[in-house]
Structure 1
């Protein structure tokens, strides 16, 4: 199944300074960029045909794969001056690179690559700055069984903030952790059918326009992942990028890069 990755966002919230021009998908987790981890997640479930919707920072992403170093994360042997890999990361991947514009909303980016997925009954899509341990193939099976036009992964609120209830006079009447509210967030992982392509219009947004219409028609399915209160705590034996948030924090449900964007900030991803 093809995987469309929206990787053209400016990444303003992840920059260390005004001079930091690295796009969000290329921020490092360990010794590999975020987009690599996202693609490896899909490849784990057998989905290795990728369409990258490029925009801001396209050159960084292109050059990374054009000069990809397999030896960085794989064992190898040097013999007679030649490198012999003992295993490979991406040799069986197909990656299509498409410039979809620097300012394009998500729906427009998808519209511009629709020719690459138009023949597929279903395809996958992702913001390219989201990590998860969700059982992707189970989600796909669920969507097919329900006959839904599309699905989105939904997760409990990931914020550690609190909501405060105020009286008219300004008195605090209640304090509730956001994580305990009966609401769900868009987790960023989509299973989409060809029907979605027919709803795309110029400069539309995938969530606020297309998904909202499907929801109103009863054609959108939300796959709940990780019930509130069951979030795992990284152990000290975990890799360093699982314990620190200086770059990004993969979480059990939906680990977005350190200052995680909400849906309303994703129109130009």
Structure 2
């Protein structure tokens, strides 16, 4: 199964503390977060990665070209910013599997990916999203599930209602790609997911903590947490 990692954003809010590299290459315990994500995904048997790049693509290419690795690595580069959904559509020509995994490159949630894949298959889901609980969903937007785990509503950021949020980990069937326009900047959360409500889409709940590095404060919190995490050791 293919694994796409979204790493094309500029990360403007983090530039006060990380301004010489793309946000997913910010270091935690001496390693780029992206390296930690790749190791985590690889531990579940994934052998083919598609890196959806944009900002400072060459930095990422140089890093991996200088390293030996046991997996296939494909770069899907966007020439102009396309947003999270646009980046996935741009990678369409490289995607070989259905379903395929997508993960945000600026966050970490240590969910069991094998269980997530099993859930997706058993539900015959077209789109599955890992969801977790946080105290304040205003910065993230929240997700509402019914008793069967189907997603029935996406609340926008700043709404303040609900505590379930996306952990930035998804399983897509290829059919979902048809909902994303080509060559246009668009967001999964704002432009695509709300249109899919009512279709066969599910939320996979985990108690694992969601860590993201979107701001200097959250980057420090992520470092404090992840530097004690076994998968983040050198």
TM-score above 0.5, yes or no: yes
Contact 2:103–2:170 under 8 Å retained in 1: yes
Q: Which residue of 2 aligns with 1:50?
A: 49
1:218 matched to 2:199? The reply is yes
CA deviations over 1:90-124 (Å, ceiling 9, x no partner): 6321100121134211111111110111x422000
Q: Which residue of 2 aligns with 1:201?
A: 181
SS in 2 for 1:245: helix
1:28 matched to 2:3? The reply is no
Write the mapping of 1:124-203 to structure 2, written as runs, cut at 5 A: 124-157=101-134, 159=136, 182-202=162-182, 203=184
In structure 1, what is the Cα distance between the partners aligned to 2:33 and 2:132? 20
Unaligned runs of 5+ in 1: 69-89, 162-180, 232-243, 252-269
Please, what is the CA RMSD of the aligned residues?
2.7
Write the mapping of 1:12-23 to structure 2, written as runs, cut at 5 A: 12-16=12-16, 20-23=19-22
CA deviations over 1:13-35 (Å, ceiling 9, x no partner): 22235x82321111001121010
Change (3 A) 1:158 1:94: farther
Change (3 A) 1:20 1:158: farther
Change (3 A) 1:182 1:197: closer
SS in 2 for 1:64: helix
SS in 2 for 1:13: helix
Q: Which residue of 2 aligns with 1:62?
A: 61
Superposition TM-score, scaled by structure 1 size:
0.66
Q: 1:207 Cα shift?
A: 2.5
SS in 1 for 2:199: coil
Contact 2:29–2:223 under 8 Å retained in 1: no
Count of aligned pairs: 196
SS in 2 for 1:141: helix
Deviates more, 1:152-161 or 1:124-133: 152-161
Q: 1:159 Cα shift?
A: 4.7
1:113 matched to 2:91? The reply is yes
Contact 2:49–2:71 under 8 Å retained in 1: yes
Contact 2:137–2:165 under 8 Å retained in 1: no
CA deviations over 1:167-188 (Å, ceiling 9, x no partner): xxxxxxxxxxxxxx74211110
In structure 2, what is the Cα distance between the partners aligned to 1:182 and 1:158? 9
Change (3 A) 1:133 1:158: farther
Unaligned runs of 5+ in 2: 139-160, 210-218, 227-234
1:95 pairs with one of 61, 64, 73: 73
In structure 1, what is the Cα distance between the partners aligned to 2:137 and 2:90? 37
In structure 2, what is the Cα distance between the partners aligned to 1:25 and 1:130? 8
